Structure 1
């Protein structure tokens, strides 16, 4: 019921009635009666974050999609921090001329230790750094040239050229590697996980000739740190990844609560989406339906999730085409009815994932993009057909009447509610006024005078005609002042099933409660 519309329209009606009178000096009370607003109360209004469809027999179906888990397995391919130290010193006393090279040993490839049988042949670096500490034990500046021919950006190799002043750690610099392609086959001279590097150390052309004693020269400490791939290709090895117990929020039934509630039918489809260019096997276990309001828990019982095999994703035009594994749970292969009838607001789960359970079936063509992995979606379909003693619908709406001064002149009155109930159960209505501290300060309906009788049903408990009822909700100025203090209205509708043995009830698309509100107030008019 749209109380905000009620009061705004009430104010407009009162102002319109008296705005054309001539000015006089008088105070008098008047009674005003008139229609205010019409509204419909439907179960759709209480489950707005869901999609309702209607079956051929007119029964409402609640369809919900939720992401239950997103296991980011791209982190398995993060390159470990790697540090190497190269020294360029003379074994004998040597007189160096400006521009003369000090290279004594040939360059060597750099191999990253990835473990778990991982063999990468290509990658694109999303983020990462190369930090270099330079030391020079010769009294003249040295030039350092470092080339990584297999690490390219816009087709150009990474080249670092620096002049090293004399001194220990006399120069420290960090070079970002973001966006570089990286050939991890060392130009084809090595298998995997390896880059080619070449370097030259020479006396600076602008330096003076210098005598280098044995053991003097340059020390270069190179540290590859925090390298995260945007893309990786190769063989990702056979790895086992535990899925530690975690919780997913559902919030499907946050406005819905019931007593002795049991669905007649429901299905839960798990869509397991593999965005990784590798095969997986695994299992999901310890899946629980948690109702934190009632402190109740139901463990899912099924064999459908104990042995899951997921094919690899494919790539085309630098785009991932994921594969989807569908696992359907119903009342014949699981305890899905009590599981969902628990009205969970959370799910807990755990499990394990095995990467490449059959080995290197791709021939070193596994692939992965950043921020991808295995996504688990839950598609829930619930025909609104159930047994329950009663169930409770509730919703909260914001209000703000602090600036409506016209409310101060209302003495007392009634909201007259003409209700038509098309549901097969009685509806007990109550609306609570909630202040800015989230504290209930008043209620609107009078207990015992807030029941809307159920519609007229046949022997199958299908509504064949709506029932009609008129309710009177009295209010006075004190209650109106509480309305002005309120920031929210919490509306609760308790829907009570027939007793002593509640029958199976089906909610149809045509079921709703129509409400027409008439205002009948005594209003103090002041004119000068």
Structure 2
């Protein structure tokens, strides 16, 4: 429980200009400080606490890794160039005559990945055409195998005549998003191969043009910033390995004690939406609590790989495969792991795709929505048996107290609580200086009783109990108030069974809360 407050001081500084001596008197003051309600509602649906029927469950499910096509395949910026020169020394070409009509193949450097087909979700081609002759020339640039809606990529340009030794040029930037690319080459048996086809005709409205073997007709096609959302082929042996850490804020502030929980299980779930087989290994699972105590989960399942099936189906109806590593009290030290109350969890994993090479014959497939996900899954009832479970929190405070002037002479803090949690709590406060050194500690007069010692409230049907806890602030504590810069509140929880008084597991009901009102009772000495 975190109490945010500053002491409310109401000094009576009344000055009488006609007085020659100080006058003093004591008066009793009661002032409210805090009125607040603490419940678990604020944490429900934040992925840590969920409602399950009439009780809460603690949900430790986290996505540890999430991979997609962009993590497996990257298409590098690639330039393909196609050139042509005649083989004879010189030719006179009549108007409208074909100069060249040929296809070339170009290999993209993707090894060890071997792609047969891809679909482009984003990207462009920068075309540049060079005409070396002294007449306009008509260029047709095709990319066989690059299609959209079944239509082959084709661009037509008139390139201006060369001026002296400077070729005439044409440039264009073309969006190729949404195009499919067949990378199997002219014979259909290649991989990573782009094709280009260059058709050049002399100007049909021009005159004869002389072409020599020194003239080089050229087309450059620069593929830029290409992203894909589909691929088929062999994607190589790919390994993803990492150790990741996540925190559970609810468990911050633990300082002592232990809990008992129902039997639970933790699962590492690997969902494979890619048509690639593989294997997965849980390499590490540990947690560390705020006291610095670390528990490593021990099990024969840790460090041993499990087989990971490929997804099945097609682009819009594929079915991911799911493999699960289950850890419970029968095959691990899971109870010790959870009862360590770690707020920092470390998970290590290794995912290997195509560990046995190209066993699919080049038929790995991945779609735009294909994901390879690793999840740590754990959900357990919040049926907690607390035995001296102690949480501590610290907050700032600034109090003015001058014993030579009007000041607080004695008093106490009074905490009134309505508790609907099935646990009791003893509260102790520590007054700290600016360095965090404890100046004084004050124990509450009695614990906040468990709701199980109360009665059912007919308004909401919940068990509740009312408690009053008094923190007496003696004169020596009040004398140090000016040096108090922080207050630490330490709360120790137990879950006694009313029938036996022994601590036992108690389920936390949905709607459980604790409502608190903190007020001061001070004797105030006024000096004027």
CA contact (8 A) 2:495 2:506 kept: no
Q: After the TM superposition, which residues 384-463 of structure 1 pair with which residues of structure 2 at under 5 Å, given as runs?
A: 384=382, 390-393=388-391, 415-419=413-417, 424=423, 426-430=425-429, 447-450=441-444, 452-453=446-447, 455=449
| Stretch of structure 1 that moved more, 244-253 or 105-114 | 105-114
* d(CA) in 2 for partners of 1:132, 1:188: 26
Pairing partner for 1:64 from 42, 60, 67: 60
> TM-score, normalization: structure 2?
0.70
Partner secondary structure for residue 441 of structure 2: coil
> What per-residue deviation string (whole Å, max 9, x for no partner) do you get for residues 164-190 of structure 1?
553369555443322222344568855
Question: For residue 272 of structure 1, what is the aligned residue in structure 2?
Answer: 270
Partner secondary structure for residue 335 of structure 2: helix
Question: For residue 308 of structure 1, what is the aligned residue in structure 2?
Answer: 306
Question: For residue 129 of structure 1, what is the aligned residue in structure 2?
Answer: 124
Question: For residue 118 of structure 1, what is the aligned residue in structure 2?
Answer: 114
Q: CA shift at 1:35, angstroms?
A: 7.2
* d(CA) in 1 for partners of 2:335, 2:321: 29
* d(CA) in 2 for partners of 1:102, 1:452: 102
* d(CA) in 2 for partners of 1:259, 1:73: 47
Q: CA shift at 1:208, angstroms?
A: 5.7
Pairing partner for 1:493 from 491, 494, 497: 491
Q: CA shift at 1:380, angstroms?
A: 1.6
Go from structure 1 to structure 2 and tell me whether the alpha carbon gap of 1:242 and 1:366 turns closer, same or farther (over 3 Å shift): closer
Structure 1, unaligned runs of 5 or more: 15-27, 402-409, 459-463
> What per-residue deviation string (whole Å, max 9, x for no partner) do you get for residues 122-145 of structure 1?
x32022332344444334443321
Question: For residue 335 of structure 2, what is the aligned residue in structure 1?
Answer: 337
* d(CA) in 2 for partners of 1:391, 1:198: 76
Question: For residue 247 of structure 1, what is the aligned residue in structure 2?
Answer: 244
Question: For residue 24 of structure 1, what is the aligned residue in structure 2?
Answer: none
* d(CA) in 2 for partners of 1:157, 1:244: 41
Q: CA shift at 1:423, angstroms?
A: 5.5
Partner secondary structure for residue 301 of structure 1: coil
* d(CA) in 1 for partners of 2:53, 2:150: 59
Residues 1:150 and 2:145 aligned together? yes
Go from structure 1 to structure 2 and tell me whether the alpha carbon gap of 1:471 and 1:185 turns closer, same or farther (over 3 Å shift): same
Question: For residue 19 of structure 2, what is the aligned residue in structure 1?
Answer: none
Partner secondary structure for residue 309 of structure 1: strand
> What per-residue deviation string (whole Å, max 9, x for no partner) do you get for residues 269-309 of structure 1?
12211121232223231344345762736254332662322
CA contact (8 A) 1:53 1:63 kept: no
Structure 2, unaligned runs of 5 or more: 11-24, 399-405, 453-462
Q: CA shift at 1:66, angstroms?
A: 0.8
Question: How many pairs does the alignment contain?
Answer: 480
Question: For residue 100 of structure 1, what is the aligned residue in structure 2?
Answer: 97
Pairing partner for 1:87 from 80, 83, 90: 83
> What per-residue deviation string (whole Å, max 9, x for no partner) do you get for residues 298-331 of structure 1?
2543326623222333456736543322322101
* d(CA) in 1 for partners of 2:86, 2:214: 5
Question: For residue 25 of structure 1, what is the aligned residue in structure 2?
Answer: none
CA contact (8 A) 1:288 1:349 kept: no
Question: For residue 259 of structure 1, what is the aligned residue in structure 2?
Answer: 256
Q: CA RMSD in A?
A: 5.1
Partner secondary structure for residue 106 of structure 1: strand
| Stretch of structure 1 that moved more, 154-163 or 188-197 | 188-197
* d(CA) in 1 for partners of 2:183, 2:269: 35
* d(CA) in 2 for partners of 1:46, 1:256: 17
Q: CA shift at 1:515, angstroms?
A: 2.8
Q: CA shift at 1:519, angstroms?
A: 5.7
* d(CA) in 2 for partners of 1:432, 1:273: 52
Partner secondary structure for residue 72 of structure 2: helix
* d(CA) in 2 for partners of 1:452, 1:45: 28
Go from structure 1 to structure 2 and tell me whether the alpha carbon gap of 1:431 and 1:133 turns closer, same or farther (over 3 Å shift): farther
Residues 1:51 and 2:52 aligned together? no
CA contact (8 A) 1:258 1:390 kept: no
Go from structure 1 to structure 2 and tell me whether the alpha carbon gap of 1:2 and 1:192 turns closer, same or farther (over 3 Å shift): closer
* d(CA) in 2 for partners of 1:450, 1:318: 64
* d(CA) in 2 for partners of 1:124, 1:149: 15
Question: For residue 78 of structure 1, what is the aligned residue in structure 2?
Answer: 74
* d(CA) in 2 for partners of 1:321, 1:224: 33
